[in-house]
Structures are given as C-alpha cells and as structure tokens.
Amino acid sequence: MATRWGICGAGKISHDFSVAMKTLPHGDHQIVATAARNLERAQEFAKKHSIPKAYGSYEELANDPDIDVVYLGVLHTEHWRVGLLFLRAGKNVLCEKPFAMNSRQVTDLVSASKRSNVFLMEAIWSRCFPVHAEVRRLLAEEAVGEVKLVKAYFGSPQLHIPRSVKKELGGGALLDIGVYCLQFVLMVFNGERPESIQATGVLLDSGVDESMVVVMKFSRNRMAFCTFSIAVALPNDATISGSKGSIRVLGPMHCPTTLVVNEKEMQYPLPEPCLPLNFTNSTGLRYEAEEVRQCLLKGLKESPRMPLAESVLLTEIMDEARKQVGVVFNQDSQ
C-alpha cells in the first residue's frame, strides 16, 4: 500500500519535494492533497503536480482522514505553529529544517508528537543521501582511524532573497544553511554534546547573521570547525580527518553526491526531474521521503538517521551560537 502524503505549503521547496516524489514508485508514494493559505494558490499547485485535493487552509489538511504523513514546507517561523496543528491532529509529520526557531519550540514539537504517538522527523535531507550513509559506514568501520577534526563550509550569496535576510521571516546564515554544517558534525560524532561552543560572526542591519564561524570541542580532544555565509560563495564541502586518513564530502553540503576517501572518489548521481527545480539536486528529496515510508512501515515514531534527541541538541547548539553572536528572534521571548 502506498504512503499517502499531504503537502503543506505551495512554495518553492514544496514544489521541489513534489517533483522528487515522482522519481519514486507510484505504488509506494502518492501525494493525495495539498494546502496553502488560500484556495487559489493550492489549486494552482495541485494542478501543476496532478494532486487530487486542494485546501485553502492548513486546518482542512489536518482534518483529512486519508493522509498518512504531512510534509511541512512553510516558512521557518511557521514550523512551530503549523507543526503543532498537524501533530495534535494525529498526523505524522516531516518538517523542513530548521525544525523551529529555537530549542523551546523544538521541544514543544517533540512533546506533541509523543503525546499523539505519531512519527516526527526534521527534514535534514542530506542525512538520507547515499553519501551520508557511506560516511556512517566508513566511520563505524574506523576506515580513517580515530576522527580528530571535522571541517565544514557552506556559503551561498543570498542577500537578495527576502526570507534569507529578514528577521521576521527567520533569516540568517545559521538557520538557513549553517544548520547543515552543524548537523554533519553531530552525525560524525554520533550525536555527542560538545564540551564547548565558540561562535563569532557579523550581522546584517536587519539583525540576522550574514556570516558565522562556530568552533566546537568534543571529548577526547576532538574538534569541529564550521564556517557559513549568505554573503559569499564558499567551497561547500566537509572534511573528516582521522589518524589513518580522511573523508571528504564534495558538492553542496546539503545535498552531496561525491565522496572522496583517502583520495579515491565515488559518485552517487541523482535521477533527472520531470519539471524544472528551484534548488540544486532537489530530486535528492526522494531519499528522505523513502526514509519516512520505511519508518512508518516499521512502526517507528522517529528516524534513526535523524533522531529527535539530535534535532533538539542541534537547535540548542544553534541557540548558543546565536546568543554569542547576538542574533535574537521575537520567538526567543515568547
């Protein structure tokens, strides 16, 4: 039986997610409904993606009994409110990153999922890519010995994009792209809490971070170094340095398709899209959709690839980095 999806939000990422779904077997995944803040926009989205039902409110989607899981593709600032709506309605949820604006909101979402006994996952899609699966396998086998240092870079000029620079839209480098660098570090160190976090950065006039550097120290004298920026392009790669060699993840940090292990390169190509995409490598969103399906089939309430406790820790690290750099959102005082 196919997993029946509802798409919440008719923006660019929801478009790309819907296109990626078409690269999966129709007998496994079906988008049966979509919802936007107004019916006309939802109907336009549904027509483009051949979706049977369109709703002009999120509440209608939450009340649809024929949906197994909801993909939440709304603005960062809406993840908490809309996520709680679906979780309290008893819907399984795949919520776009960042999970919410701060760790308090993330804890609210996790608590709501446990009360409703439903599945919840932060859509860190890179966690589900074959490249990351191979990295986890190599680390488990100690292919590069003891890991001593992890470096991750992500820079993308986005100062012209309103949602990237406006505080009221949840802007800033950290929440939009820095999250991918930090989650990569946590994946390498198996979700371990860092012993110390040091962050520095520069802010835009709007009060959000333009660029940031975060250095973390872990147990056994292991270090991580992350740099991210919405002002300039950076190498967009990561290196894991161990006592017996190195692992490099090449290409965009959020959707990698190339891996280099001790100078041996491996490629993991993506399927071609049936419609133009808004973002790089977006057909790779198929991997997180399939991860959700497999978890639901097994009766799991969270994904072992992106555990809820790790999502909470990730947001706590981002809270501390924001505090040190001086980024404060309205949600922090609510």
What pLDDT was estimated at residue 29? 98
Dump pLDDT digits (tens) for 32-56.
Answer: 999 999 999 999 999 999 999 999 9
Q: Give me the CATH number covering residue 174.
A: 3.30.360.10
In the chain, % of residues over pLDDT 70: 100
Instruction: Tell whether 71 and 109 lie within a shared domain.
Output: yes
In 10 A of CB 312, how many CB atoms? 17
Q: How many CB atoms lie within 10 A of CB 126?
A: 25
Q: Is residue 181 part of a domain?
A: yes
Q: 78, 75, 73, 9: which is closest to 331 by C-alpha?
A: 78
Single-letter amino acid, residue 154: F
pLDDT at position 47 is: 98
- Of 81, 102, 125, the residue that ends a domain is 125
CATH number at residue 22: 3.40.50.720
Same domain, 112 and 188: no
The model's pLDDT over 128-146, given as tens digits with 9 standing for 90+, comes to: 999 999 999 999 999 999 9
Residue 288 lies in a domain: no
Give yes or no for residue 334 having a pLDDT over 80: no
Domain membership of residue 273 (yes or no) is no
The number of helices, as runs of H, and strands, as runs of E, in the chain is 11, 14
Residue that is written with structure tokens 């899209």 in the block? 273
Determine the pLDDT at residue 251.
80
- pLDDT tens digits for 163-197? 999 999 999 999 999 999 999 999 999 999 999 99
Please identify which residue in the block is written with the tokens 């991997």: 287
> Do residues 202 and 142 both lie within one domain?
yes
> pTM above 0.95?
yes
Query: Are 102 and 329 in contact, with CB atoms under 8 Å apart?
Result: yes
Domain that holds residue 198: 130-267+307-329
Same domain, 112 and 144: no
Pair (116, 134) in one structural domain? no
Going by their DSSP bridges, the two strands 3-8 and 69-72 should be labelled as: parallel
Closest CA to 93 of 102, 192, 78: 78
Q: How many domains does the chain have?
A: 2
Within this chain, do residues 233 and 99 fall inside the same structural domain, yes or no? no
Query: What's the average model confidence in pLDDT over 288-294?
Result: 98
SS3 label, residue 291: helix
User: Are residues 164 and 311 located together in one domain of the fold?
Assistant: yes
Alpha-carbon distance 22 to 276, whole Å? 13
Q: Identify the band that residue 237 occupies on the pLDDT scale cut at 50, 70 and 90.
A: very high
Within a domain: 93: yes
Domain match, 30 and 160 both: no
CA distance 329 to 323: 10
Same domain, residue pair 145 and 165: yes
Domain-embedded: residue 64: yes
| CA separation for the pair 329, 66 (Å, rounded) | 37
Peptide bond into 98 cis (omega under 30): yes
Domain end point (choices 125, 152, 173): 125
Same domain, yes or no: 157 and 206: yes
Q: Quickly count: other Cβ atoms within 10 Å of residue 330's Cβ.
A: 10
Q: Domain check: are 143 and 248 in the same one? A: yes
Domain assignment present for 300: no
φ, ψ of residue 180 in degrees (nearest 5):
-70, -35
> Quick check: is 114 in a domain?
yes
3-state secondary structure of 214: strand
Which of 68, 95, 125 delimits the end of a domain? 125
Residue 3 host element (H or E): strand 3-8
Residue 239 lies in a domain: yes
Give yes or no: residues 95 and 144 share one domain: no
Tally of CB atoms within 10 A around 60: 16
Could you count the other beta carbons within 10 Å of the beta carbon of residue 130?
Answer: 16
